[in-house]
Every structure is written in C-alpha cells, then in structure tokens.
Amino acid sequence: MTKQDTKFLTKDSSQETAQLIDSKQLVGKLGYLNILHEGEVYRLRVTKFRKLILTK
C-alpha cells in the first residue's frame, strides 16, 4: 500500500501528520469499501463518473 504523509494545521495550530491513501487501494476491484463507524455501516464507493460517495 502506498502511503504519503500530509501536514495540516488543526484548530489549535499544532501540526499533525495525516495519511494519504490512494482511493483505488481502499475500494479495490469491487469499487466500494464498507466502513464500520460507531456501530453503523457506511459504504464508500466510486460512482460511474469516478467521484467518491459515502452512504449509510
């Protein structure tokens, strides 16, 4: 998996490092990824127009 680090400023102006992951590696050949967040399942998918959409 290819990862890159991105620097950004948070509300308190301290610097943190966030991961940058290629969407193709997340959704794979199926074109979607199921995400469990606080007991709820969400689906991140690529549309036919190659946009990302997150649905519950």
Residue 7: name the closest of 19, 25, 21, 24 by CA: 19
CATH of domain 25-56: 2.10.70.10
Phi, psi of 26 (to 5 degrees): -75, -50
**Where are the chain's structural domains?**
25-56
The predicted structure's pLDDT at residue 16: 77
Q: Give 6-47 pLDDT, tens digit per residue.
A: 665 556 656 778 899 999 999 999 999 999 999 999 999 999
The residues with which 6 forms a beta bridge, in sequence order, are 18
